[in-house]
Amino acid sequence: QSALTQPASVSGSPGQSITISCTVTRSDLGIYNYISWYQHHPGKAPKLMIYDVYNRPSGISSRFSGSKSGNTASLTISGLQAEDEADYYCSSSTNTKTLLFGGGTKLTVL
Amino acid sequence: QVQLVESGGGVVQPGRSLRLSCAASGFIFSYYHMHWVRQAPGKGLEWVAFISYDGRNEYYADAVKGRFTISRDHSQNTISLQMNNLRPEDTAVYYCTRDEGIEDDERFYFEYWGQGTLVTVSS
């Protein structure tokens, strides 16, 4: 089991908001404040959506936001659009100079 | 604009070796740390290796430690991944990525990715 646990799938209708969680299951890895989120459409390169829990890179829509509560980080997508349908991964560096990814969440836009 | 272009993928038998390359352009290559990330068919993303901006530090995932070696060539603006003793579970698309930290700042997140190169390990 990955040290970063995500739901396998989430779904929502256009215009709705959805939240994808990423739970840190190993406290020994020091991965509290460095959560990033990636959007991955099959066959394309992954795209950075959020870094350092809350921050959006330039050019990323404000519909995407990141948050954290306790040992769970979350990615919220508001005003869901058809093109948001993709796989989403959380990731974090560790105190042993490695990088972990969550197992990924498949977002379906109904 | 930043470009990362991987090459070197292909079909290789278990136990054999393969070398991947990534050509970088559009940024000052010598300032940035670089990584390899892979995705096996039907699986999620998996970080593979890191090399610091100056090539002095290398970090590896446990799954590849001792078998893979990352390197960089500042004269060619390239990074490489030498993969030895390949296993079927190494079958994946391998992506070259640029760390968003520079010099002594290691960020371990990636705004820029290549399009990937497919490695298939099969007899």
pLDDT tens digits for range A51-100: 999 999 999 999 999 999 888 999 999 999 999 999 999 999 888 889 99
Counting Cα atoms < 13 Å in the Cβ hemisphere of A86 gives: 21
Task: Summarize pLDDT for A9-50 with one digit per residue, the tens.
Answer: 999 999 999 999 999 887 666 666 689 999 999 999 999 999
Q: Say how far apart CA A85 and CA B109 lie, in whole Å.
A: 22
Task: Summarize pLDDT for A39-48 with one digit per residue, the tens.
Answer: 999 999 999 9
Taking CB atoms and an 8 Å cutoff, what residues of chain A touch B41? none
* Residue contact B45–A89, C-beta within 8 A: yes
CB A90 within 8 A of CB A99: no
CB nearest B45 (choices: A44, A46, A97): A46
CB nearest A89 (choices: B44, B95, B108): B44
* Residue contact B44–A103, C-beta within 8 A: yes
Best CA proximity match to B60, nearest among B43, B44, B36:
B36
Q: How many angstroms away from the CA of A25 is the closest CA of chain B?
A: 17
Residue to mutate among B4, B64, B110, with most A CBs inside 10 A, is B110
Cross-strand bridge partners of residue B36: B49, B96
**Residue A53 amino acid letter:** V
Q: How many angstroms away from the CA of A17 is the closest CA of chain B?
A: 24
Strands B10-12 and B117-121: parallel
Task: Summarize pLDDT for B53-95 with one digit per residue, the tens.
Answer: 999 999 999 999 999 999 999 999 999 999 999 999 999 999 9
User: Which DSSP string corresponds to A35-92?
Assistant: EEEEEE-TTS--EEEEBTTTBPPTT--TTEEEEEETTEEEEEE-S--GGG-EEEEEEE
Best CA proximity match to A91, nearest among A47, A34, A41, A49:
A34
Q: What is the pLDDT of residue A1?
A: 62
Best CA proximity match to A46, nearest among A33, A54, A36, A31:
A36
